[in-house]
C-alpha cells in the first residue's frame, strides 16, 4: 500500500495536512484552563455540524461503537424494549450490542440494499399502546450497502403513532458529510466518530444528547463507568475529563469543525453529492449496479458496487492494494464477496475521485471483467465537467 495515494475506503478517510498538524501538538496539562480552550470550542463546533441549538455534546476517547454504547447505557435499563431494523452490517452490530446489554430488541428484518422501513415502524409503534418500546434505533447511512435512510420519515412515524420512544441515530458515516438535522428531525441521541466526515484518525466517539435523552439518564439502570455522561459533564464544568483525554485529537476536531463550517455545511453536502454522482455515473458506464435498491436511498459517502454472479468482488480490493497501492472496501456480512465499496467522503475532490475510479476500472479489466477501459472515467469526467464550476463558485 502506498502512503502517496488517497484511500477510497468508507473510513478512516484521508486526513488534510492542516488537521494532521493540529493533532501534532506538545503535551499540555489536560486539567488546566488551556485545555478548556480546545475542548469547549470543539464541542460547540460539533453542535453546529449537527444543526442543533441545544444538544449536549460528549466526546469520548473511543470510536463510533463506543458512541452506540454511550447511547444505550446512559438512557436505558435491562429488559427495556427496543425497535430496530436490520438492513446491513452496522445496524446488525448495534442490535447485537443491545442484546448483549440484555435489552429486548424487536428486529424488523429488511433486505440489504433497502432503507429503513418507516411505514413498518409506524405500524409497530401504533400497536404499542402501552409504550413498552423505549427507544428506536436508526442507521442513517448503512456503510456496508451504501444505503441512506430517511430519518425525517422515522421521526414522522414516531409522531404519527404518538409514541414517546427515544430516537437514536447512527450517523457515523453521514454526519459532517451528508445533511443531518438533529433538532428538526427530533433526534434524541446522535452518534458519530472522528474518522469519517471529520477527517481525523479513529479515536473519538462523538455523541449529541437531546434534553429528553438527558432526562432519561436520571432513571437509566444499565451499568456504565467509562461512558457515563454525568461524569463527563462534571469534568467539562472544570475544563477537564474524568480521565485522560485525547488532547491532540480534540485539537484536530476543533480545527476540523472550523474547516467544515468555513466551507459551509451546505457546500460540504453538495460536494459529497457531486463526487458521489460521478462515481455512480462510472458504475452505470461499466454496466454494473449498486447494492442500494434505488436512487432514493443512494448514499453520498459510499457506493457498494455489485459484481457479476460467480465473480469474487474481494479480488478487486486485493488486486488494487497489491498492484496499484490503492485501498477500496470489501463487502461485509451478507454481501461479502458480492460487492466492493468505493468510499467517497471526507477530504476528497473530483480529481481525487477520478483516480479511484480509474484504479477500480484497471483492476476490473486486469481481472477479466467485461469492462471497457476508460468508460467509467469518461462518464465521471462528463459529470464533473458539467457540475464542478457551479459548486466551486458557490463554495467561494
pLDDT tens sequence across 34-63: 999 999 999 999 999 999 999 999 999 999
Measured CA to CA, the distance from residue 179 to residue 354 in angstroms comes to 24
Mean of the per-residue pLDDT values for the chain? 96
pLDDT in tens, 185-200: 999 999 999 999 999 9
Q: Where in the chain is CATH 3.40.640.10?
A: 17-262
Task: State the CATH class of domain 17-262.
Answer: alpha beta
Mean pLDDT confidence for 144-156 = 98
Q: Quote the CA–CA distance of 25 and 251 in Å, as a whole number.
A: 9
pLDDT tens digits along 74-121: 999 999 999 999 999 999 999 999 999 999 999 999 999 999 999 999
Tell me the β-bridge partners of 343.
302
Quick one: 24 exposed, middle or buried, by C-beta within 10 A (0-12, 13-18, 19+)? exposed
The pLDDT of residue 3:
82
pLDDT of residue 396: 36
Q: What DSSP string describes 120-149?
A: HHHHHHHH-TT--EEEEEEESEETTTTEE-
User: Do 341 and 9 contact (CB within 8 A), yes or no?
Assistant: yes
pLDDT in tens, 347-382: 999 999 999 999 999 999 999 999 999 999 999 999
What one-character-per-residue DSSP string does 4-36 give? SSPPBSSSS----HHHHHHH------TTSHHHH
Tell me the CATH number for domain 264-395: 3.90.1150.10
Please check the confidence at residue 242 and state whether its pLDDT lies above 70. yes
Pinpoint the residues of the chain covered by CATH 3.90.1150.10: 264-395
Looking at the predicted structure, is the pLDDT value of residue 393 above 80? Answer: no
**What is the model's pLDDT at position 389?**
45
- Cα 385–390–392 angle (5° rounding)? 90
In sequence order, the 6+-apart residues with CB closer than 8 A to the CB of 262 are: none
Confidence (pLDDT) at 69: 98
pLDDT at 391 over 60: no
Close Cβ partners of 66 (under 8 Å, ≥ 6 residues apart):
60, 205, 227
Q: Is the pTM of this model over 0.75?
A: yes
- pLDDT digits 0-9 by tens, 286-331: 999 999 999 999 999 999 999 999 999 999 999 999 999 999 999 9
pLDDT at 308: 97
pLDDT of residue 1: 60
Please report, rounded to a whole number, the percentage of residues in the chain having pLDDT higher than 70.
97
Question: Which whole number is the average pLDDT over 271-278?
Answer: 98
Share of the chain above pLDDT 90, in %: 96
pLDDT digits (tens, 9 = 90+) for 3-36: 889 999 999 999 999 999 999 999 999 999 999 9
Amino acid at each position: 500500500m502506498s502512503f502517496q495515494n488517497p484511500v477510497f475506503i468508507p473510513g478512516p478517510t484521508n486526513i488534510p495536512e492542516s488537521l494532521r498538524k493540529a493533532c501534532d501538538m506538545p503535551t499540555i496539562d489536560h486539567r488546566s484552563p488551556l485545555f478548556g480552550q480546545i475542548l469547549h470550542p470543539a464541542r460547540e463546533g460539533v453542535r453546529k455540524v449537527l444543526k442543533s441549538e441545544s444538544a449536549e455534546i460528549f466526546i469520548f476517547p473511543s470510536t463510533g461503537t463506543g458512541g452506540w454504547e454511550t447511547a444505550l447505557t446512559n438512557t436505558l435499563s435491562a429488559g427495556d424494549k427496543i425497535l430496530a431494523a436490520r438492513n446491513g452490517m452496522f445496524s446488525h452490530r448495534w442490535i447485537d450490542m443491545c442484546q448483549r446489554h440484555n435489552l429486548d430488541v424487536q428486529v424488523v428484518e429488511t433486505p440489504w440494499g433497502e432503507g429503513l422501513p418507516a411505514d413498518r415502524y409506524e405500524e409497530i409503534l401504533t400497536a404499542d399502546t402501552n409504550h413498552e418500546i423505549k427507544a428506536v434505533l436508526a442507521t442513517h447511512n448503512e456503510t456496508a450497502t451504501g444505503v441512506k435512510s430517511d430519518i425525517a420519515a422515522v421521526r414522522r412515524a414516531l409522531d404519527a403513532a404518538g409514541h414517546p420512544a427515544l430516537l437514536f441515530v447512527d450517523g457515523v458515516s453521514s454526519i459532517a458529510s451528508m445533511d443531518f438535522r438533529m433538532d428538526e428531525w427530533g433526534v434524541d441521541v446522535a452518534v458519530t466518530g472522528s474518522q469519517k466526515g471529520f477527517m481525523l484518525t479513529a479515536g473519538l466517539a462523538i455523541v449529541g444528547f437531546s434534553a429528553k435523552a438527558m432526562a432519561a439518564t436520571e432513571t437509566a439502570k444499565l451499568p456504565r463507568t467509562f461512558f457515563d455522561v454525568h461524569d463527563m459533564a462534571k469534568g467539562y464544568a472544570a475544563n477537564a475529563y474524568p480521565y485522560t483525554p485525547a488532547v491532540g485529537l480534540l485539537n484536530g476536531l476543533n480545527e476540523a469543525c472550523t474547516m467544515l463550517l468555513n466551507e459551509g455545511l451546505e457546500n460540504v453536502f453538495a460536494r459529497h453529492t457531486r463526487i458521489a454522482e460521478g462515481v455512480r455515473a462510472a458504475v452505470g458506464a461499466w454496466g454494473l449496479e449498486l447494492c442500494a435498491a434505488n436512487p432514493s436511498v443512494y448514499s453520498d459517502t459510499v457506493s457498494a458496487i455489485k459484481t457479476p454472479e460467480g465473480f469474487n468482488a474481494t479480488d478487486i480490493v486485493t488486486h488494487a492494494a497489491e498492484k496499484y497501492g490503492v485501498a477500496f472496501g470489501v463487502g461485509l456480512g451478507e454481501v461479502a464477496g458480492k460487492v466492493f465499496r468505493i468510499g467517497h467522503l471526507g477530504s476528497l475532490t473530483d480529481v481525487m475521485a477520478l483516480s479511484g475510479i480509474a484504479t477500480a476500472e484497471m483492476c476490473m479489466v486486469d481481472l477479466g471483467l467485461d469492462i471497457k477501459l476508460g468508460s467509467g472515467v469518461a462518464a465521471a469526467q462528463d459529470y464533473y465537467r458539467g457540475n464542478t464550476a457551479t459548486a466551486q463558485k458557490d463554495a467561494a
